[in-house]
């Protein structure tokens, strides 16, 4: 399979891999240091509030992975190059992993923050729909029609991307009293400087980890398809 031009230079790819791996490791170590050794316990929730940094960071990483799925879908429909379907496959699987982590960490945090692990509010429901779309994409790869699965997954990828604005702005659908999720940044809920710094570093670390996982999964998928074509 002939790669797109920007992926055809082995030396550039090698430098990219080394740089991405190094940045991912360094940012991850620094994020763990900030979250567990620098940030103080939150006044009301105590140490359980530390899960907030992973919860939000994984949500942003999910959106980044879905962004790659979206652009891969657009390029797939425009030129049908096999690479774009490979990238869509990899990014969708990674997005599902991070999306699942967001749901699980939210359920862990929920009882301490809101005395419930789940409620049918707009953001939780819209994010659950996003998870189900990603799950459908992964299952289609296994059980779908092999001749149509690429187009079907590309369409689902666009649908997942369209759902992201609904997730992000869903907190404005109902009054604040009717929802669990506060608008933390808009309401200036992070007043301690170390909280803000830890959140930004953890977001960066998880975004880089997401890119690293997508890249590794893409390489695995390329090798798998190359072996199947032999």
Write out pLDDT tens, residues 111-129: 776 777 877 888 888 999 9
Q: Is 218 helix (H, G, I), strand (E, B) or coil?
A: helix
Residue 5 within any structural domain of the chain: no
Query: Under 8 Å CB-to-CB from 167, ≥6 apart: which residues?
Result: 123, 126, 127, 130
What is the structure's pLDDT at 130? 96
172 or 91, greater pLDDT: 91
Residue 124 within any structural domain of the chain: yes
Based on its alpha-carbon atoms, the radius of gyration of the chain, rounded to whole angstroms, reads 19
Question: What domain range is 129 assigned to?
Answer: 10-229
Give Cα 61 distance to the centre of its chain.
Answer: 3
**Structural domain count of the chain:** 1
Residue 211 within any structural domain of the chain: yes
What is the structure's pLDDT at 185? 47
Taking the whole predicted model, whether its pTM rises above 0.85 is answered as yes
Residue 4 within any structural domain of the chain: no
Residue 18 within any structural domain of the chain: yes
What is the structure's pLDDT at 186? 47
187 or 171, greater pLDDT: 171
What's the DSSP call for residue 120?
-
Residue 90 within any structural domain of the chain: yes
Residue 198 within any structural domain of the chain: yes
What is the structure's pLDDT at 121? 81
Q: Is the torsion defined by CA of 176, 178, 183, 189 positive or negative?
A: positive
Residue 101 within any structural domain of the chain: yes
Q: Is 139 helix (H, G, I), strand (E, B) or coil?
A: helix
């Amino acid at each position: 399979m002939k790669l797109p031009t920007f992926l055809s230079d082995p030396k550039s790819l090698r430098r990219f891999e080394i740089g991405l791996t190094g940045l991912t490791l360094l940012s991850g170590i620094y994020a763990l240091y900030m979250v567990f050794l620098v940030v103080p316990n939150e006044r009301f929730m105590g140490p359980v509030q530390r899960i907030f940094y992973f919860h939000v960071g994984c949500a942003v990483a999910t959106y980044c992975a879905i962004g790659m799925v979206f652009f891969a879908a657009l390029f797939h429909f425009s030129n049908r190059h096999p690479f774009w379907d490979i990238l869509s496959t990899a990014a969708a699987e990674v997005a599902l992993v991070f999306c699942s982590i967001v749901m699980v960490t939210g359920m862990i945090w929920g009882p301490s923050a809101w005395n419930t692990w789940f409620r049918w509010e707009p953001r939780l429901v819209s994010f659950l729909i996003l998870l189900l779309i990603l799950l459908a994409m992964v299952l289609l790869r296994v059980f779908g029609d092999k001749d149509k699965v690429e187009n079907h997954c590309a369409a689902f990828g666009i649908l997942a991307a369209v759902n992201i604005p609904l997730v992000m702005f869903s907190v404005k659908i109902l009054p604040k009293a009717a929802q669990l999720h506060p608008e933390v940044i808009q309401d200036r809920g992070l007043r301690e400087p170390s909280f803000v710094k830890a959140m930004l570093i953890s977001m960066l670390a998880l975004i880089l980890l997401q890119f690293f996982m997508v890249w590794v999964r893409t390489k695995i998928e390329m090798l798998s398809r190359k072996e199947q074509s032999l």
